[in-house]
Amino acid sequence: MKSLEEKIVHDGFALGTEIVKVDSFLNHQIDTAFLQLIGMEFKRLFGDISPTKILTMEASGISVAVTTAIAFDSIPVVFAKKTAPNTMIEDFYAADVKSFTKGTVSSARVAKKYLSSADKVLIIDDFLAHGEAGLGLLSICQQAGAELLGFGAVIEKEFQGGGARIRQQGCRLESLAVIQKIENGVITFR
Amino acid sequence: MKSLEEKIVHDGFALGTEIVKVDSFLNHQIDTAFLQLIGMEFKRLFGDISPTKILTMEASGISVAVTTAIAFDSIPVVFAKKTAPNTMIEDFYAADVKSFTKGTVSSARVAKKYLSSADKVLIIDDFLAHGEAGLGLLSICQQAGAELLGFGAVIEKEFQGGGARIRQQGCRLESLAVIQKIENGVITFR
């Protein structure tokens, strides 16, 4: 998605060799006009499938999951929770997820009643880096017996291997911008 | 908002005397069609103001903040972060926020570059209970010198006093459903 690559270059910036900061439009401040375009692009790329639900990870996946769900005729979104509130009393699926940017391991949880073998799932997330969050969402889908139709990532950092790990699971992956490397403040796209 | 009250009764349920579970459509699974109606209702109620930004709290405020922002001609959303990733290297505004449902105190943070004295802010959140999160967002607005135009809550639990605390700060508050009490599994609206 050319306009996304341009936005990453103009509004984001590279931090070392591993991190691209896009909190000006994607994961702290949210450019809601642009995120609607992203939702429409996912709808175009996955135009041949008919998901019943979008699955994502809190917190920064929620906004793009919502605009994508709206593009798919307003299907429901389910977001995995990384902390369990005391209001979460029912059975849930869980997967351990390591965060490289936060240095933590958390348990991602989805209440069983919101994902089942009747669901056809499209996973949407803001970033695909090492693939930890993505594999956690795949595991939750498998535990639920849901049919996984695809995985859409806004930004894939190819050099961190998450994309390869998701595809190895036999999952169709569409990434709107694929970063090959970050070097001396320059972001190179595939 | 009558349709919201009906949805709370039909799709949600009361837990003890303090908690209303609405994770079937608002804060775990998200009914994106209904959340667009909620966004339009906030736009109608706040039709006389012209905010430049919607401010909310991660994670469950994000979805309704996004649909409300879209209703306001797709203005940006900024969500306060409750954990600081190692990518958050810049100056930020912070406010301590106690969560009654999670039993934790966390520091809500907004990077200074995304909120300034040039901004006119509408705060949107899913719940207004004791008002801890809301007062934290008010504090962040004040620290930024931003003009606070109003506060929109999807569900206000009046008996927990958060609404009164927000209004005491001189802030205009609009809640789409106001719960007076929860007793024996019955939810009573104002």
Q: Which of B25, B43, B87, B106 to mutate to test the interface with A (most CBs of A within 10 A)?
A: B87
Facing residue for B78 by CB, picked from A28, A77, A86? A28
Secondary structure, 3-state, chain A: CHHHHHHHHHHCEEECCCEEECCCCCCCEECHHHHHHHHHHHHHHCCCCCCCEEEEECCCCHHHHHHHHHHCCCCCEEEEECCCCCCCCCCEEEEEEEECCCCEEEEEEEEHHHCCCCCEEEEEEEEECCCHHHHHHHHHHHHHCCEEEEEEEEEEEHHHCHHHHHHHCCCCEEEEEEEEEEECCEEEEC
ipTM of the complex: 0.95
What's the CA gap between B13 and A105, in Å, rounded? 32
Alpha carbon distance, N-terminus to C-terminus of chain A: 11
Q: What is the pTM of this model?
A: 0.96
Interface of chain B against chain A, CB under 8 Å? 15, 19, 21, 23-24, 28-33, 35-36, 58-60, 62-63, 65-67, 69-70, 74-79, 81, 83, 85-89, 99, 101-104, 110-111, 113-114
| Amino acid identity, position A35 | L
Instruction: Give yes or no for a cis peptide into B59 (omega within 30° of 0).
Output: yes
- Which tokens in the block code for residue B77? 């959303």
Facing residue for A33 by CB, picked from B59, B60, B74? B74
Each residue's pLDDT tens digit, B123-157: 999 999 999 999 999 999 999 999 999 999 999 99
pLDDT along chain A (190 residues), means of 10: 97 93 97 98 98 97 98 98 71 90 86 98 97 97 98 98 97 98 95
Q: Is the pLDDT of residue B97 over 90?
A: yes
- Do B32 and A81 make contact, defined as CB atoms within 8 angstroms? no
- Do A66 and B29 make contact, defined as CB atoms within 8 angstroms? no
- Do A83 and B102 make contact, defined as CB atoms within 8 angstroms? yes
Whether residue A161 contacts residue A130, with contact meaning beta carbons closer than 8 Å, is answered with yes
Each residue's pLDDT tens digit, B153-173: 999 999 999 999 999 999 999
